[in-house]
């Protein structure tokens, strides 16, 4: 992961989510569309990922904790979304951590794209990237050609 700071700090539509995606994939921010600037952001995200043989899975958390889900491997980079300390929805990069023995799971802040760097007050969603077809190549080179869509 290469931390990328967000450049749009608007309370209605910033680019924290795009900054998180750019950070995880180690891409320049202008190579990642600002998905959340559109009502159909989910469809746009999946359409952008599909040619890279990837998809994004997102689950709601239970009371700000972990979602009901199978255990992920320790260290998986995820995107967490929820309420930021500024009273607006925000997204950050977290590492999914499994403590020794595999009984305790937690999220560790890996990168907050906001200049404050404080993370989330409450995690409402946890998402991660997955391979669509393991028999096919993953992530052919991505350019900034579609970043303004």
The model's pLDDT over 2-36, given as tens digits with 9 standing for 90+, comes to: 999 999 998 888 999 999 999 999 999 999 999 99
Look at residue 95 and tell me if it is in a domain.
yes
The answer as to whether 9 is a domain residue is no
Reported as a pLDDT band with limits 50, 70 and 90, residue 148 is very low
Contacts of 16 (CB under 8 A, 6+ apart): 6, 36, 90, 91, 92, 113, 114
Number of domains in the chain: 1
In a domain, 143, yes or no: no
The answer to whether residue 2 sits within a structural domain is no
Nearest alpha carbon to residue 61 among 44, 81, 43, 38: 81
Please report whether residue 137 resides in a domain: no
pTM value? 0.89
Q: Does 50 fall in a domain? A: yes
Domain-embedded: residue 48: yes
pLDDT at position 84 is 92
Predicted confidence (pLDDT) per residue in 30-77, tens digit: 999 999 999 999 999 999 999 999 999 999 988 766 776 767 888 999
- Is position 57 within any domain? yes
- Residue numbers of the domain that contains 32: 16-132
Query: In 28-95, which ranges are continuous DSSP H helix?
Result: 41-49
Share of the chain above pLDDT 70, in %: 91
Instruction: Quote the CA–CA distance of 130 and 118 in Å, as a whole number.
Output: 27
- By the 8 A CB rule, do 29 and 19 touch? yes
The overall longest dimension of the chain from CA atoms, in Å, is: 45
pLDDT at residue 125 above 70? yes
Residue 7: CB partners within 8 Å, gap ≥ 6? 15, 19, 29
Say what the pLDDT of residue 141 is: 56
């Amino acid at each position: 992961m290469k931390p990328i700071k967000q450049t749009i700090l608007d309370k209605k539509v910033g680019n924290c989510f795009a900054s998180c995606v750019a950070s995880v994939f180690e891409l320049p921010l202008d190579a990642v569309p600002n998905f959340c600037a559109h009502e159909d952001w989910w469809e746009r995200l999946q359409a952008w990922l599909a040619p890279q043989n990837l998809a994004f899975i997102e689950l709601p958390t239970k009371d700000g904790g972990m979602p009901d889900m199978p255990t992920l491997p320790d260290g998986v980079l995820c995107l967490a979304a929820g309420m930021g300390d500024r009273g607006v929805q925000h997204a950050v990069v977290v590492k999914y951590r499994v403590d020794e023995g595999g009984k305790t799971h937690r999220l560790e802040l890996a990168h907050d794209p906001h200049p404050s760097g404080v993370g989330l007050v409450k995690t409402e969603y946890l998402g991660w990237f997955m391979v669509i077809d393991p028999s096919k190549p993953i992530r052919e080179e991505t350019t900034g050609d579609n970043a303004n869509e």
